[in-house]
Structures are given as C-alpha cells and as structure tokens.
Structure 1
Amino acid sequence: MTGDLGLFGPDSVSWRVHREPVLWLAGLRALYLQALHPRAVAGVVQNSDIRRDCWARLMRTAEYVGTVVYGTTEQAERAGRRVRGIHARLRGRDPRTGEEFRVDDPDLLRWVHVTEVESFVSTARRARLGLTDDDVDQYYAEQVRAAELVGLDPASVPSSAADVAAFYDDVRPRLALTAEARDVAKFLTVPPIPNRLILPIGRTAWLGVATTAFALLPRWARRLYRLPGFPTTDLAASLAVVSLRRVSNALPVREGPIYRDAMRRAEQLGTAPQPAAR
C-alpha cells in the first residue's frame, strides 16, 4: 500500500477541496438538503435514532468521506463494501403511500451522493478556494468513483455541473417539507451537545454555524423550508463561510491519521501537494 495514492491522488481536485477544514460546514448543508427528500429522510428516521447518536453518526460519516478521498484503494473499497452491506439490510416505508422501499434504491443513493458532492464543491467555491468551472466539472467527474463504492452505476451519476443542475431540476418536484424533514432540520439546528463538547463548541456558536450552513442552501431549498430565498441571504452566507474558513485555517487543526498517511505516501513518491493555507 506504500505507493497507493487511492482513488484520486495529489493532483486531483478532490484532494484540494477536502483538505479544507471548513468543509465540515458543507456536510451539515448536505444534511439539510437531503432531508427534503421524503423517502430519504424516512429511511434515516425509521432506521436510526439520530437524537441518541447524532455526533457518532456525524463522525462516522466524516471518517468515511476521509477514507474514500485520502485512503488507499483497498481502504476505500473496504469502506464502500461495509456501507453497501449496511444499506442492503435496511428498508423503509414511504410516509405518503405506505409502500416499502429499499434504502439502497439507486434513486435514493444518487440523491444522497449528488447533494453531498454538490454541497462540498459549492461550499468550497463560496469559501474562495479559487476553483474554476473546469475544476468543478473535474471534481464531479472524480467523485463518480465515490458513487460506485456505494453501489451506483457510474453511467447514472451526474459528472459535471450541468449534469448536477439537470438532476436537481428533475428531482425538485418530488421534494417536500415533511414532518420528518422539519424535525430533522430543527434537530440539526439545535442538537443536544455532550458536556465534553460544550466548552469547545458552545450552543450559541453551533447555532451560528448551523444557520450559516442552512443559508448556503440553494434558494429553492430554503423556500421549501418556508424561508425566504433572498439574494442578500446568499451574499451574507458567502461572507460568513469566508470568515469561517479563515478562522478554521488559523486554528491548530489536527489532521486525522488517514490524511497524514496519504501525505506520507505522496511524499514517498515525490508528489505531495502544498499544505492548505492557514
């Protein structure tokens, strides 16, 4: 595994985007967006107790994304097999029709994938990482490999900004603010914070972070949540995420072992990227 740079490698846009600490804000944005799909949110609510293990769930998701982006090929594929195995066992029931559905239904997997990668790259762009239109298209094309890991046919995965925009146009009529979506959004905004996290995070600080993540949503998504989709909200959110990026990059952020191992492998091959700006 010494020379294995994984699915993407140092020259990829994926490595460039995901090394930014502020990207955890994008993960929260994706959760707000994903909750607007009635079946997707029902599958989550019916198969897990997010109120009891929300922080552990968030950490597992962050670790999975880190493994897929920076892990070796074998580590990424093993993580994908584990996720596919979990999803294959889960079922949900449509809250409107009563119909049973599989959690690993391709339409649901595609929704989760697209909202996740679009949240990452759009947040990175609004944080002024200097991504060009070509960079964004390359990122989407690279992330098709991540979609394959969860069981999607690569030919069915949006692989450019135009594809993603068309995907959203197609799926929007099926989105809605259900009772489950409202509960999840409220929970994401005001979650229970364990005592050990109160000091470093703080309830007021988390509310500010969650509000920023919500404001980063597309205008049509904010309107589905019965909130205004004003352009001024977009401007304020962009300014906020730029400020949060500066704060995040100024903090002594401790990279995880998967990222450090990736940097060591890249250094051994003489291809290590420049460290992210602090």
Structure 2
Amino acid sequence: MSTSSHPIDRLRRRLGHAVFLKVAGPDGDAARVRVHDTPGPRWFPPGSPIRQVHADVTTFVGGLRALLLQSLHPLAMAGVAGHSGYRGDPWGRLARTSTYLAFTTFGAEQDAQRMVDIVRNAHEKVRGTAPDGREYFAGDPHLLTWVHIAEADSFLSAHQRYGERRLTPEEADEYVAQSGEVARRLGAVDVPRTTAELAQAFDRYRPELAATPAALDTAQFLLKEPPLPLAVRAPYSLLAAGSVALLPQWAREELGLDTWSARTFGPVAGGLATHGIRWMMGSADRRASTIDEPTHHSRDLDETSSR
C-alpha cells in the first residue's frame, strides 16, 4: 500500500488541510496557488531566514504571542478594539493576516507590493480616540513599528524555541532585517535590523505599555474563550500555554498571566502543540515550496485579501 493511500496518511492530510483552511480562510487554496505559482521575482529568495521562519508551524504559537504582546500598547489596542472586529469575526481577521504574511514572504513582487498597498489603504480608515482621550491612527509610523517589533520578536522567539531548525545568530539578524523590509514598506520607521536592535526597540517602547481593560479582555478571549468547538479546545490550550510561556515576564505580569504553571508547563505544552500541528501539516520545506491540495479556480487578489 502506498504511503499516500494509507488511512493514517489520508487522515493526516485531511486534518492538515482543515487546519490550513481555518487559518487561511475559505479562499486559502486559491491564494496559495497565486502565491506559489505566479511567475516572477520575489522579495526574498528560497532558503532565506524569513522564509524558514514563516513557513514553520511555530507561527501558530508566535502569532498568538504577538497578539497578546501587541495588545499592551493602549493606542494599538484601541484601534483593534474599535475597528478590527476581533470578537465578531476572529477567523476573518486571522485569514487576512495569514494571507498578508504569505504574499509578502513568498509571493511575486507585484503581488507582495499590492498586498502592502491594500493594508496601507485599510489603515487610513482606522482612526479614533482611545479611552484615555488620546487620538490614534493605524497608519501612525510609531504604532506600525510597535506592531512590527512585537510580531517579529514573537515569530523569531517561537521559531528558536520550537522550530525544526534554529537559526544561527547571523541568520536571526537576517530575519530581523528581512521582516523589517516589509515593515518599512508598510510605513514603519526606526525599524530594527538586528536582534540587538530589536531588544533596544522594546526598551524604548516599554514605558508606553500597559494592560488596559481592552487588553485584558483580549487575553481572556484568546486564551479562555476561543471561538472553537469543544473537541479542539484542549489542543488549542496547549498552543496558548506555549504562547504565554514565551512572553517576556513583564508582559505576563501586566496581563496577569505570570503563574507557576505557565512558566513550568507552558514550554512543554507549546512543544506538544507544534509537534502535533507539524504532523498534520508536514515539514516547513514542503509548505514553503509546494501546494498540497489542488484547486480549480483562483480569485482576484483584491477580493481574497479585502474580506
């Protein structure tokens, strides 16, 4: 019996594809074809650190950590709470984020730039006043830089802890520099280019960070009230525990998450979660360069990314 026809392998593929569609949205297959099959140069070559990190399933842990960390900036959190619909449509927001990450990391240059332009235009509409009376604007370069460093640090931390192959110090610096290229195209300023500069950037933002009621509500939603069937809440709790364990201690303290169990069992839980997802979805190399499921149609990029 061939490997592809083995019942366990078929189950693995079905589960992996179900997870993929949950993260990428109903148009995920079409977007994946567009990302990998569109001819032309890319922003980042095959084998580069940003491709290694963003192709690995550790982005599941890193992405959740990034959301928790980003919520600690009151103005960034006010924009999310007021405009993103993260409670009403969390999976739609996740799909838009994963689509953006896929196109800017692996897509053809014209599609990657088009995706950046779409997001920049969307940011123009995200303006308002935070509960503390300060005005916010999603396109503010200072806020864009905070969102970027929280994301870059989270993806890199998750990869270095749970990844298939850790980056060398030089590769880690290159990852920070490459992810920073995308952030600058989006409008961020003073973007770190090395891991040392990334740590310094956190030091600069630290005085601005605090757990507002909206941030605490987000943590409660993400960690305790995820919009998931009961059958998959237990595996998700492992992923969530791994994400919390990777947060800096000061961030866990701000969010009321710095418990003995989080510090002790969180890393083990994160490892179990990533191993399980990797079993379902396959190796990072395969996901970065192939399309597992065929699709018979493709929609316009604007339609796919604007949902």
**Do Structure 1 and Structure 2 share a fold, with TM-score over 0.5?**
yes
**Counterpart AA for 2:135:** E
Shift of 1:220: 1.3
Q: Distance in 2 between the 1:117 and 1:39 partners?
A: 19
Q: Distance in 1 between the 2:41 and 2:259 partners?
A: 41
Sort the Cα spacing of 1:5 and 1:34 in 2 relative to 1 into closer, same or farther, 3 A: same
Q: Distance in 2 between the 1:160 and 1:180 partners?
A: 31
Q: Which runs of 5+ in 2 are unaligned?
A: 1-36, 293-307
The reply to whether residue 214 of structure 1 matches residue 244 of structure 2 is yes
Query: Contact 1:220/1:229 (CA < 8 Å) preserved in 2?
Result: no
**Counterpart AA for 1:106:** P
Q: Distance in 1 between the 2:281 and 2:138 partners?
A: 38
The reply to whether residue 105 of structure 1 matches residue 135 of structure 2 is no
Q: Distance in 2 between the 1:229 and 1:157 partners?
A: 32
Q: Distance in 1 between the 2:38 and 2:108 partners?
A: 9
Shift of 1:14: 0.7
Share of identical aligned residues, percent? Answer: 34
Instruction: State the partner residue of 1:202.
Output: 232
Instruction: State the partner residue of 1:185.
Output: 219
Shift of 1:151: 1.6
Sort the Cα spacing of 1:47 and 1:16 in 2 relative to 1 into closer, same or farther, 3 A: same
Please state whether the residue corresponding to 1:51 is helix, strand or coil: coil
Shift of 1:208: 2.7
TM-score by length of 1: 0.82
Sort the Cα spacing of 1:229 and 1:150 in 2 relative to 1 into closer, same or farther, 3 A: farther
Please state whether the residue corresponding to 1:104 is helix, strand or coil: coil
Instruction: State the partner residue of 2:256.
Output: 226
Q: Which runs of 5+ in 1 are unaligned?
A: 264-278
Instruction: State the partner residue of 1:275.
Output: none
**Counterpart AA for 2:136:** F
Q: Distance in 2 between the 1:236 and 1:131 partners?
A: 24
Q: Distance in 2 between the 1:15 and 1:235 partners?
A: 31
Sort the Cα spacing of 1:2 and 1:182 in 2 relative to 1 into closer, same or farther, 3 A: closer
The reply to whether residue 59 of structure 1 matches residue 89 of structure 2 is no
**Counterpart AA for 1:178:** T
Matches within 5 A, 1:1-278: 4-96=40-132, 98-128=133-163, 129-153=165-189, 156-193=190-227, 198=229, 202-228=232-258, 233-234=262-263, 236-253=265-282, 259-260=288-289
- Cα RMSD between the aligned structures? 2.5
Query: Contact 2:238/2:269 (CA < 8 Å) preserved in 1?
Result: no
Sort the Cα spacing of 1:254 and 1:14 in 2 relative to 1 into closer, same or farther, 3 A: closer
Moved more, 100-109 or 33-42: 100-109
Shift of 1:4: 2.7
**Counterpart AA for 1:30:** A
Query: Contact 1:26/1:123 (CA < 8 Å) preserved in 2?
Result: yes
Query: Contact 1:70/1:262 (CA < 8 Å) preserved in 2?
Result: no
**Counterpart AA for 1:31:** L
Please state whether the residue corresponding to 1:89 is helix, strand or coil: coil
Shift of 1:178: 0.6
Please state whether the residue corresponding to 1:125 is helix, strand or coil: helix
Sort the Cα spacing of 1:191 and 1:253 in 2 relative to 1 into closer, same or farther, 3 A: farther
Query: Contact 1:7/1:69 (CA < 8 Å) preserved in 2?
Result: yes
Q: Distance in 2 between the 1:262 and 1:204 partners?
A: 29
Q: Distance in 2 between the 1:167 and 1:207 partners?
A: 30
**Counterpart AA for 1:202:** V
Query: Residues 87-139 of structure 1, C-alpha deviation per residue, up to 9 Å, x if partnerless?
Result: 0122021221x132211111110010110111001100001422111111110
Please state whether the residue corresponding to 2:87 is helix, strand or coil: helix
